[in-house]
Structure 1
Amino acid sequence: MFITDLVRRGKSIGAVPTMGALHAGHAELIRRAAIENDVAIVTVYPNKIQFKPGVNYDFNLEEDIAFALRAGASAVISSNDTEMFPSGYRTFVSQGDYQIRLDGPHGFLKEAVTGCIRWICYTRPTRSYFGLKDIGQALLVRRAVADLLLDCEVRLVPTVRSKNGVPISSRLRRFNHSELDELSCLYTALNHLRKEIARGASCVKDLIESARSLITLRQFELEFLRIVGADSFEDQDKIELPFIIIGAVRAHGLRVFDNIFVPDRATLLDGPPDVWVDLPER
């Protein structure tokens, strides 16, 4: 087996689990995995357990394979529902109620973390790469790896954003430039909160109220704007490091999230080390 042989020969493996529909955000994960390891493995599988029944995830495997190889992948591994979650499958990664603290009761963080842990067990990586755009998944996978004593380093990779501030995301690939420009006000509000906190503001209620005034949506609806502890995912009353500034907008029947992860004072003062790219051509 390919992976067994890599491990036997002592090769370091960088794994990038994806659901397909690869984009510039995935390219940054793959690029770092290729630089920091002997072999970079990309997995492509739309994790069926984190979708509502009847939802089909739109991706093209051949295009994703070509994209991953151009970005620096050594190999691409794909799977299907029968292999990943056969009849009778019943083991999930449980982390109490943490999975609903960030996204609410209709989120699927538990299922997302379970899928990621299965891929880590399969690919046996030295390092596995997760983007901070999906902050809840990234931090809960890191916690699960530590709790389960898995021999893998979880690498958190900065968010890749278009130059108007909107994070690159597969769920936004059908949005036009006008819609993306409108969504950019969410990042503006999040970054405003970071700057105000850096200046010394600490009352979360007042901070959120000031940031809401910066969000002007015509086609979409703001669901929430929150500041939560990075360890607990619980809302903060007074600012304490580390924390996450997070917001969600409902657009075209989708929940669109954005966040700024503030793990330390340097990030608070200077901002996160996001990667900035041009908007994709339409």
Structure 2
Amino acid sequence: MSPRIVRTVAELRAELAPHRADGIGFVPTMGALHEGHLALLRAARDENGTVVLSIFVNPTQFGEAADLEAYPRTEDRDVALAAEAGADVVFAPSVEEMYPAGFATTVSVGGAVAETLEGALRGRSHFDGVATVVAKLLLAVQPDRAYFGAKDAQQVVVVRRMVEDLGIPVEIVARPTSRDADGLARSSRNTRLSDAERELAAALPRSLRAAQDAFADGVRDPRRLAGAVRDELAAAGLEPEYVEIVDAGSLEPIAEVVRPALLALAVRVGPVRLIDNVVLVPGVDDRIPLTPVERSHR
């Protein structure tokens, strides 16, 4: 059965009112759904009576107008996929619904969680945009649980900080990064890669795996671990925008990996900016499986 599509917050709240006692799971997206999104929907389906998917390409979190313009919009396809994965309601508001005339409020999360990694490179406005739109979506849906992918690890940390600071009554659930057979993290942006660029992009998970291998061999120096990533990327002719190893909870810099640490990177492959990460945990071997795949022609 196709999910109910609603466009306004008023419609959404009316639709969800009879179902709140059974638990509401929420998966916020910008559309262009892939297997990673569908895995989140299936997890929400397993744990909640009603599942809501939002589709909203949020203009306030894009630093580049061209990136916003190029972001794929595939609502009909997304709704069909969401139906198969168990969504009951699709909230697909307009920009005017989310940011009406006179809108003048920003939710801003401070400290290292928003100012390092993507925040340092893209500017404070990026996570201001993320925090503001997620806060508005959570207030609109009022879910019991909201599901995010671990690929956007910093976003998850920012959202958790915001939810805790503002006392929003929702559980933030982070699910493992969904990957293709060669390890590349699934992303809506991957569709913009040519076949040759897609082959190059496989260097990202290989580089993270190189660091994981070094970590498994006992390396705990963040500089050496980051160096293993950079060497693997350089072998593919790629120059990262950043490779950083920080505390997995606070995102503060660390001198040695003695507790869970986030290894995060950003790399441009052709016109497409890709991010990825792994968490390094002493005593835990959780390396990315890397299986060569044959690319089919589009």
Same fold by TM-score greater than 0.5: yes
Match of 2:30 in 1: 19
| Separation in 1, partners of 2:294, 2:86 | 20
8 A contact 1:113–1:141 mirrored in 2: yes
| Separation in 2, partners of 1:62, 1:203 | 48
Cα distance, 1:53 vs structure 2: 6.4
| Separation in 2, partners of 1:174, 1:280 | 15
| Separation in 1, partners of 2:213, 2:139 | 40
Cα distance, 1:171 vs structure 2: 1.1
- Superposition map of 1:107-256 within 5 A: 107=123, 108-215=126-233, 216-218=235-237, 220-256=238-274
8 A contact 1:65–1:76 mirrored in 2: yes
Of 70, 95, 102, which aligns to 2:117? 102
Cα distance, 1:21 vs structure 2: 0.8
Cα distance, 1:186 vs structure 2: 1.7
Per-residue deviation, residues 72-113 of structure 1 (Å, max 9, x unmatched)? 111111101111011222222222143230212425122112
Match of 2:18 in 1: 5
Cα distance, 1:255 vs structure 2: 2.3
Secondary structure of the 1:161 match is coil
Cα distance, 1:152 vs structure 2: 0.9
Match of 1:270 in 2: 286
| Separation in 2, partners of 1:273, 1:142 | 29
Indicate whether 1:84 and 2:98 are aligned.
Answer: yes
8 A contact 2:197–2:270 mirrored in 1: no
Compute the RMSD of aligned alpha carbons: 2.3
Q: Percent identity?
A: 32
Match of 2:11 in 1: none
Unaligned runs of 5+ in 2: 1-13
**Does 115-124 or 98-107 show the bigger shift?**
98-107
**Does 246-255 or 113-122 show the bigger shift?**
246-255
| Separation in 1, partners of 2:261, 2:289 | 16
Unaligned runs of 5+ in 1: none
Cα distance, 1:272 vs structure 2: 7.0
Give the structure with the larger helix fraction: 2
Per-residue deviation, residues 119-175 of structure 1 (Å, max 9, x unmatched)? 111111111000001111112112211221111111101111111111110111121
Indicate whether 1:48 and 2:79 are aligned.
Answer: no
Match of 2:4 in 1: none
Aligned residue pair count: 275
**Does 93-102 or 75-84 show the bigger shift?**
93-102
Secondary structure of the 1:214 match is helix
| Separation in 1, partners of 2:229, 2:260 | 20
Cα distance, 1:271 vs structure 2: 3.7
| Separation in 2, partners of 1:269, 1:82 | 47
Secondary structure of the 1:87 match is coil
**Does 60-69 or 126-135 show the bigger shift?**
60-69
Secondary structure of the 1:167 match is coil
Q: CA, structure 1 residues 278+153, in 2 after alignment: closer, same or farther (shift >3 Å)?
A: farther
| Separation in 1, partners of 2:180, 2:195 | 11
| Separation in 2, partners of 1:74, 1:279 | 34
8 A contact 1:193–1:208 mirrored in 2: yes
